[in-house]
Structure 1
Amino acid sequence: MKDVAQSVGVSVTTVSHALNGTRFVDQATKNRVLKCVQELGYVPNILAQSLKGKGTKTIGIIVSDISETFFSEIVKSIEKTAGEEGYNIMLCDSEGSSEKEDLYIHLLLQKGADGLIIAPVDQYKEFQWENQTSKPYVQIDRKIQKAKGSFIGIDNAGSAQRAVEILIENGCQKIGFIGYKDLFYTMGERRRGYLNALESAGLPPYQFISEHRGESLDSLAVWMRQVCPDGLLCTNEVLSYYALLAAEENKVDVPQDLKIIGYDDARWLSLLKTPLTVLRQPTEEIGRSAIQKIIELIGGTCPEGRKDIIHNWEMVVRESCGSQNKK
């Protein structure tokens, strides 16, 4: 910064104000400073600014699988809104590992992130670090019940219950649930909604619970041959795709013999041989709410304390559920 000040012929303080907008600097001087910065290739020391109490204008994001359409769309929304507000993001993928999540949390805090947006892996764990730092955070899609950070997502139990009700309305009597362990908050809630709908209808549950994300398609195909369900609720886009492949492998016609409803509206799902009915989550709105909330917390313009934000979901009806007009 001293080199820039010397070259332009102004004080270091003036250069700082011109770059950070912390005090009025006439436009001609500001233009000279910016031109000199480009010519000299000057890069501000963000961590040094953080130590002076100015913050880094950086927000850390941790999701469990960036390859999923749901999370990639949320991150895209967060990045867009963050840029409009003058913030940058640092993105980490925990790959569904609680250990990696903890590692990334500490790494992002060490790198000077002003706040965090997290999709927690384990709803039963505790964020030990939240009592050791003043940095704010919010939870998206998933939440830890005892955590202090606000949650932003949808009514998972209610959406799953409605999906099962539609399958029942369309004649299904043997409805299966395809999901992961209840370690994920969303899975536990969707399973709860599934069971509530079946209990109300007096129907028994049939559940395929994958122990890990990489469990083979063959296992699902075998389970479907053994159970012979006439309806399925699949809890994410990958499991929905696996269910369609397993049905094809077992020579089961969808939707004539098996009706399927899934979660998340990846673009390719509408292009399948049998377009998939899905519960669409408002990813853009979730991302925007998350970044706005964390910026408010960073700036001290939002009251402390947890306040969850629940967005509406939408049923996108296609051929796989055997109905064209159920909502």
Structure 2
Amino acid sequence: MVSIKDVAKKANVSTATVSRVISRPEAVKEETSMKVMKAIHELKYQPNVLARQLRKLETKTILVIVPDITNTFFSKVLRGIEYVAVSKGYKVLLGDAGNDVAREGEFLNVLRQKQADGIVLLTARMETSLIEEFALDYPLVLACEYIEGSTIPTVSIDNISGARKATEYLISLGHKKIGMITGPLNVVLGRDRLKGFSQAMARHDLPVEPSLVQEGNFTYDSGYNMMLKFLALSNPPTAVFAANDEMAFGAVKAVKDRRMRVPEDISVIGFDDIEFSSIFEPPLTTISQPTFEIGTTAMELLLKLINEDELTRNQYILEDKLIERQSCVSNNNPL
């Protein structure tokens, strides 16, 4: 079956341009419109008329799907989304997937049933083909998580670079035996942050020991349990990089429960810079994401899709930065 993507490829234009030619031809240059119509005719493309008609029924509501509402990282992203949404007369519905891929898919029916005008996905754990097909017919933006190689409008940071930066910082303090608590490796964030860690270690000819890489699931409990594994080793790491702040908090608690100290006995660095990081004891060194800006940029992109405006770019990679606090110190006894 011929899709709008096939037409766009043949006409050498974006899918958004094909959509405008079908729904608002007056908004497209005549030369471009003719090229698209020629591709439609040659491919015998049949537009999804029902989806197009439903899109024209405004609800002034957008849906935001989060993977886990208990993760405080998403609070500022949501504030950014709502800040722009409210200023443009939109309400925000929140859907908590509870880390359940099936529930993520169920939320898409909110758009199919025309209960919202567009959707911001803060999670991308469904089948890639399902998300991409859905994005062809409905306004959809990905934020925080992303799909490698996809053309879906996306807002995120460079997680590989951020993780590399965190690891390089520990190395600069003289640490050579460094452990990592990864996020779930079936999620792109978990894989990319592990990749950044491995790249930094390789750059300095430091081995990534299998026993010093443990898979967590972005929760406090997993950080606690994985750190206990590190501390049970005969030669534990002098520093640990946790792939998010929640796991870093759990890791610090595990160190304290073993009557050791952070950072004197072991340094800990996190990722995200959630609000509690600065008042935690000790205050957590971490990689800060521009969470509010991620939210505002995602909502502005979604509004362009809803209004069928031309997108000047699809991918937005925002800057992260290292926040130095008191959970890391120089290693006085480098191996």
Shorter-chain TM-score range: 0.7 to 0.9
Of 89, 108, 113 in structure 2, the residue corresponding to residue 110 of structure 1 is 113
**Do the aligned partners of 1:281 and 1:313 also contact (CA within 8 Å) in 2?**
yes
Q: What does residue 6 of structure 1 align with?
A: none
Q: What does residue 86 of structure 1 align with?
A: 89
Tell which deviates more after alignment, 144-153 or 277-286. 144-153
What are the Cα deviations for residues 164-208 of structure 1, in whole angstroms up to 9, with x where unaligned? 111011011111111222221111111100000011111122211
Q: Offset at 1:271?
A: 1.9
Pick closer, same or farther for the CA change 1:100–1:146 going to 2, 3 Å: farther
Q: Offset at 1:212?
A: 8.0
Aligned residues: 273
Q: What does residue 140 of structure 2 align with?
A: 137
Q: What does residue 156 of structure 1 align with?
A: 159
What is the identity, as a one-letter code, of the residue corresponding to 2:129?
E
Of 247, 271, 287 in structure 1, the residue corresponding to residue 255 of structure 2 is 247
Of 228, 243, 261 in structure 2, the residue corresponding to residue 235 of structure 1 is 243
What is the identity, as a one-letter code, of the residue corresponding to 2:314?
K
Distance 1:124 1:133 in 2: 15
TM-score by length of 1: 0.77
Tell which deviates more after alignment, 229-238 or 107-116. 107-116
Give me the CA root mean square deviation. Answer: 2.4
Classify the secondary structure of the residue corresponding to 1:80.
helix
Classify the secondary structure of the residue corresponding to 1:220.
helix
Classify the secondary structure of the residue corresponding to 1:285.
helix
In the alignment, structure 1 segments of 5+ residues that lack a partner are 1-49
What are the Cα deviations for residues 43-89 of structure 1, in whole angstroms up to 9, with x where unaligned? xxxxxxx8593411111110112222221111111111100011111
Q: What does residue 284 of structure 1 align with?
A: 292
Pick closer, same or farther for the CA change 1:98–1:52 going to 2, 3 Å: closer
The list of structure 1 runs, each at least 4 consecutive aligned residues, that deviate by more than 3 angstroms after superposition, is: 211-218
Tell which deviates more after alignment, 81-90 or 247-256. 247-256
TM-score by length of 2: 0.75
Classify the secondary structure of the residue corresponding to 2:237.
coil
Classify the secondary structure of the residue corresponding to 1:165.
helix
**Do the aligned partners of 1:121 and 1:183 also contact (CA within 8 Å) in 2?**
no
**Do the aligned partners of 1:136 and 1:149 also contact (CA within 8 Å) in 2?**
no
Distance 2:310 2:86 in 1: 20
Classify the secondary structure of the residue corresponding to 1:62.
strand
Of 208, 216, 219 in structure 2, the residue corresponding to residue 210 of structure 1 is 216
**Do the aligned partners of 1:150 and 1:307 also contact (CA within 8 Å) in 2?**
yes
Classify the secondary structure of the residue corresponding to 1:263.
coil
Pick closer, same or farther for the CA change 1:213–1:262 going to 2, 3 Å: closer
Q: What does residue 4 of structure 2 align with?
A: none
Q: Offset at 1:140?
A: 0.6
Q: What does residue 188 of structure 2 align with?
A: 185
In the alignment, structure 2 segments of 5+ residues that lack a partner are 1-52, 331-335
**Do the aligned partners of 1:124 and 1:183 also contact (CA within 8 Å) in 2?**
no
Distance 2:93 2:243 in 1: 28
Tell me, yes or no, if structure 1 residue 194 matches structure 2 residue 200.
no
Q: Bigger radius of gyration, 1 or 2?
A: 1
**Do the aligned partners of 1:221 and 1:250 also contact (CA within 8 Å) in 2?**
no
**Do the aligned partners of 1:124 and 1:144 also contact (CA within 8 Å) in 2?**
no
Map 1:167-182 onto structure 2 (within 5 A): 167-182=170-185
Distance 2:121 2:129 in 1: 13
Classify the secondary structure of the residue corresponding to 2:148.
coil
Tell me, yes or no, if structure 1 residue 300 matches structure 2 residue 308.
yes
Q: Offset at 1:121?
A: 4.2
What is the identity, as a one-letter code, of the residue corresponding to 2:121?
I
Q: What does residue 19 of structure 2 align with?
A: none
